[in-house]
Amino acid sequence: MIDLSRTPDHRWARVDQLITDGKHPSRSYDDKMIHKGYRFLKRYQQGSSSSYARLEANYPGLWSAFNMWTETVGPKWLIEAAILAGRTIKELAEYLKCSESQLTVYEKYFYDVREGIESKGWVVTRILLPAIARRLVDRDYDFLWKVIAYFGGWEALDAFIECRKLPAEVEIFLTDATRAKMIKDGFVATHVRSINSYTSNEIITQCLDLKRLELEQGQGGVQDKLSKSLESVFGALQISMIPHDKKFKPNEERVMELIVGSSVPLSGVLPAKAKKK
């Protein structure tokens, strides 16, 4: 069972909190790694350039891991994504051509997540959600690689990074993931956008596009449901609709006049006659 309050860097967070509070590690509560990390960070914060050299010599694994962790970009992205994909330290060391001890130290102090990988809820809230909360930026590979690694596996991540031809199963995963993301984004967008005089034209245009697409795909059942939904929207805007079997030609121009009592022709809809004044 995973402790849902635990963060991936829980050991280092404990070390940092002890030093911030001016306390010492507990002999009964804190493990050897926290005691070692405490001594390292205490000397690091009090040190100088000359003492850093001695610190690196005395704590080579922790020195390397700490420097990777403090970098804005670097190997840590790949290391963390690979761990999420279930790669062992030995496999990852062979891939990166580095020592196993260096990776082990980094994992224990800064990315101790293997115990929680089976808990999708913990992974999403403790690993993936923080990236979303800080607002994603263009090419946020840290978040992107972790999502691909966790849900698609190492083969998907490896193929994505190397920009080589994707295996069939990887291509299917990425295609399905992209489609699902677009659908989710559309769902969110429809619930945060209000209908008013500024957005009504755009909303109706999108409804028409969706209607056309579903008619072309022959989704009759969906067509009927969508027509009813459109009638409700158009009714609120005082636009009349008369359904019929005619379809738009590919290059046929859509006419939309947002005038009270006017009509809007669309695929499967025939404009009603304007009321005489």
The confidence score (pLDDT) of residue 183 equals 81
Which tokens go with 137?
A: 């930026």
| CA atoms of 157 and 81, how far apart (whole Å) | 8
Give residue for tokens 């072309």.
Answer: 216
Taking a C-beta distance cutoff of 8 angstroms, is the pair 90, 100 a contact? yes
The confidence score (pLDDT) of residue 252 equals 43
* Residues pairing with 263 in the sheet: 240
The confidence score (pLDDT) of residue 233 equals 57
Reported as a single tens digit per residue, the pLDDT across 81-133 is 999 999 999 999 999 999 999 999 999 999 999 999 999 899 988 888 876 66
Residue with more model confidence, 72 or 25: 25
Q: Which of 108, 105, 80, 102 is nearest to 11 (CA)?
A: 108
Reported as a single tens digit per residue, the pLDDT across 170-228 is 788 878 878 887 887 778 777 777 878 777 788 788 788 877 877 776 655 555 555 65
Q: Which residues, in sequence order, are CB contacts of 263 under 8 Å at separation 6+?
A: 239, 240, 241, 242, 257, 271, 272, 273, 274
Which tokens go with 248?
A: 């738009």
Taking a C-beta distance cutoff of 8 angstroms, is the pair 63, 55 a contact? yes
Question: Does the pLDDT value for residue 237 go beyond 50?
Answer: yes
Which tokens go with 19?
A: 């030093």
The confidence score (pLDDT) of residue 105 equals 96
Backbone torsion region of residue 218, taken as left when φ is above 0, otherwise alpha when ψ lies between -120 and 50, otherwise beta: left
Residue with more model confidence, 20 or 243: 20
Ramachandran angles phi, psi of 66, nearest 5°: -65, -40
Count of residues making up the chain: 277
pLDDT band for 67, please (50, 70, 90 cuts). Answer: very high
pTM for the whole structure: 0.64
| CA atoms of 183 and 174, how far apart (whole Å) | 14
Ramachandran angles phi, psi of 44, nearest 5°: -65, -40
Reported as a single tens digit per residue, the pLDDT across 6-55 is 999 999 999 999 999 999 999 999 999 999 999 999 999 887 777 888 89
The confidence score (pLDDT) of residue 248 equals 47
Please name the amino acid found at residue 185: D
Residue with more model confidence, 24 or 144: 24
* Residues pairing with 270 in the sheet: 242
Ramachandran angles phi, psi of 254, nearest 5°: -85, 140
| CA atoms of 116 and 121, how far apart (whole Å) | 9
The confidence score (pLDDT) of residue 15 equals 96
